Amino acid sequence: MEPQLRREHRERMLRLERQHEDRLRERAARGQRNELVTGAVIALAMLGGAVYMAPVNGWLSALLCGPSLLALVKVFVLRRSDPDDMRAVSLAGRLASNAAVQVQQPPPAPQQPPGV
């Protein structure tokens, strides 16, 4: 009788281990879906904000559609961020800020030559 009990115990333990592994796989799949949905929502929100802001502030629209969009989606979907991504985001921010400052400054008045 004892060998039979050992076999049943071993089978039961293997079944429990498989169930545990299945649950872990399901959790991982659910987590990946959540990350994908979060990344999609952020991307759509940033694109929508860019379209909404385009007539008002073109530079802000460009900032929302540029590398920052790609960097954020990469962080949420792939769960990683490279230093090159952050450099691209900061460069795009600086360029957009410079463009905004140039647009806001009035052009210099044309000067008449002396003696006219």
- Helix, strand, coil shares of the chain, percent, nearest 5, are 80, 0, 20
Q: Is 50 helix (H, G, I), strand (E, B) or coil?
A: helix
Domain ranges of the chain: 2-103
Note whether 99 and 77 are within 8 A (CB).
no
In the DSSP assignment, the letter for residue 79 is: S
Q: Is the pTM of this model over 0.85?
A: no
d(CA 9, CA 16): 11
Tens place of pLDDT for every residue, the chain, 116 residues? 788 899 999 999 999 999 999 999 998 888 888 888 888 888 888 889 888 888 887 777 777 777 777 777 777 777 777 777 777 777 777 777 776 666 555 556 667 766 65
Please name the helix (run of DSSP H) or strand (run of DSSP E) that holds residue 7, with its range, or none. helix 2-53
